[in-house]
Each structure stands twice: as C-alpha cells, then as structure tokens.
Amino acid sequence: MKTQLLFLSILFSITFYAQEHSHKSSGAITYPNVPGYKTLKTDLHQHTVFSDGNVWPTIRVMEALRDNLDVISLTEHLEYQPHSKDIPHPDRNRSFELALQEAKKHDLLIVHGSEITRSAPAGHSNAIFISDANNLMDKDSVKQFAEAKKQGAFVFWNHPAWYPQSPNGNPVLSDFQKDRIKNGELHGIEVINATDYAEESLALALENNLTIMGTSDVHDLIDWDYTEKGHNRPITLVFAKESSETSLKEALFSGRTVAVFNSLLVGKEENLTPLLKACIVVEGATYINNTSILKVTLKNVSSSDLLFENQMPHTFYSSSPVFTVPAEGTKTIQIKTLERLDSVELKLKVLGAYIAPKKHPVLQWQIVVENN
C-alpha cells in the first residue's frame, strides 16, 4: 500500500509538473503594468508551415512562452501557400487549432487571425479575433474586409512601408485604405514590422487614429532572427483592463498600445508616458556628505534600455546629460541643485521613445530628498 501511495504521489507530481512547468528563458521579456491597466505583451503577426513560415505552430507557442509573452496570433497568408504541395491546407483554421491545443497547458492566449495578402494598393493586412478563416477567402479584397468586419475582427495594415510594395520605403495611404477606415474595417497599422520602424507609418497612425502596432512577422525561428542577434522580437504592449481576450480586443479597438523593438518605444503620448513612468523606479535620493550634490538612483524594471536626456535647470556632476538606464539595471545620477532642497523635480526626455515623428516624451518625477 505504501509503495502504491508513493507511486501515486510520484505520478501526481509528474502530471502536475507537466501541466505547470515553465518554458521561460533567461531572456524573458518583461514590462510593468500601468495605472488602471495590465500590460499584455503580444506578437500578433507570425507565420508557420501553414503559409510561408518554416516551423510547426507548436514551436510558435514554445517560443512565446520562452519570451514570456501573454498573447500571440498565427496569421497565415490566405492567398500565399508555398508549402501546399507537401502540406495540403483545406482548413485555414488548422494553424490556430494546433496552437490553441498546445497553449492549453500554459498561460498564453492564442488569438485567431489571418493575413489578407493582396498586391498594392490593398497590400497585406491582418484580421484577428476572427471566427472562421475559411470564410475570409474571397477573390475580392473589398468583400474580405467586409467579412472580417462581420466576424468582429480587429484589422491592421501590415508593413505599409515594405519596399516590394512601396519602392521608396514610405507608406502610401490609398483610396482602398481610406475607404476601409471610413467603413470601420481598418483599425490599426504596423509602425514596426520585423526590424523596420517607419515614422511615416506613425504619422499615418496619428492622422487617422489607427492603433499603433509592432510585430515580429517571424517566418523562421525567433532565436535565429532576433535573440541570436542580440535583440528581442518586436512586440505590441497592449494596456488591457484584464488579462482576457475580451479586454485585449477592447484595448486594441481603443488604441491603448505601445510598439516596442528593444530600446525603441513608439506610442500615443497618453499610452507611452505612463508606461515609461512605470518602467523607472526612483530608488533613493540623498545629498553627498555636506554638499549640494544630490545622488539619485534610477532602476529600470523593463526589458528596454532607456536613453534619457536631462531637461532640468540643474546640471549633472560626473555624468553626461545623456545617459542610459540599462534594461533591468540601475543608474545613479548626481544632480547639482546648488542649495540643499527637500524635494526636486526630475525632468528627463526619453530619446529612444516617440510620441510622434521626431517627438520624444518628457517625464517628470517629484523626488523627496531622504537625508535633508
């Protein structure tokens, strides 16, 4: 009986372990929540062998878990199926179903999506939160967008600056997109796709009130395309009321996002500023001996190196006015306040972050001095 019990408990712990085990890697991506919202780390544009990618959907799930993502979507091309001789693909929902099955054991949300793949001017767009990819197949791209809307999809314009479709590397907002926006059929735009950030796409996002997106558009392995090169994959941070598909969808339609690629962060000011404020924790502010030089330690709790420029009337002692607080690291600055103050307003411009083309956010903190 004892042996049986022991055997049962071992079996239980193996089963338990199998269900709860973690795939997180040492390079797991992390960003803090912001006041009122959960920060969901998403990569909503990826490919597998079910279109022109080179891995099985389960690998995308594993990669997302290693990167500590909260949400992914496998957005197979509807119209481009180069592996179809080897992998006949009559049911276009299959990639999603396989990923969903794999993710069941884990805390990862899989969103059902497809890439509508047309030549310019329609170009490529992802429709996510769809109910049936098969019904999105249509020779007429206008009908495809209407069907996506019917399915309740959030649709974003992919790599609008992609040079095979726009030879000067700048996005062209055609009548096709203008009509889709007018009809409520186009809701977002990639400002970062793979390694390309186009500030012209950011301008279009702001002019047309489109949700700002960043995605990996990965076809091979995340490790090969990004990690091995010293990068994290590009992602979209979504500020959702809860960690659920309903909340994620509401947040995307409401435009509460920041696109991130390593130290580059792009978003509307109302989303980017609270995120950056949450990324930096002021750890201590004390005067050095009996001087009027204030030592302030800044801790960065995010996976982005943050590059700052001093915007205070006070200058720094022993430090450049431009400095980096490394990802998940600290930096101590020394501020010459000229007299010993009880509190100081720290004011820094974030040089790697954009709220509009060529426009950086400026952050402010009221810092209380500890030993005054």
Give the residues lining the site for Zn ion (CB under 5 A): 115, 124, 158, 217
- Nearest residue (beta carbon) to Zn ion: 124
211's CB contacts (< 8 A; 6+ apart) are: 154, 156, 187, 188, 189, 205, 252, 253, 255, 257
Nearest approach in angstroms of CB 305 to Zn ion is 27
Backbone angles phi, psi at 13, to 5 degrees: -70, -30
Task: Indicate the residue type of 208.
Answer: N
Nearest approach in angstroms of CB 162 to Zn ion is 7
Nearer to Zn ion, 190 or 285 (CB): 190
Nearer to Zn ion, 200 or 217 (CB): 217
Nearer to Zn ion, 63 or 217 (CB): 217
> What's the CA gap between 349 and 359, in Å, rounded?
10
The runs of H, that is alpha helices, within 184-241 are 199-207, 222-225
**Lookup: tokens for 181:** 């926006």
Find the Cα–Cα–Cα–Cα dihedral 188, 190, 191, 197, rounded to 10°.
180
Nearer to Zn ion, 43 or 200 (CB): 43
> What's the CA gap between 180 and 203, in Å, rounded?
18
Nearest approach in angstroms of CB 143 to Zn ion is 20
> What's the CA gap between 335 and 293, in Å, rounded?
5
Nearer to Zn ion, 118 or 295 (CB): 118
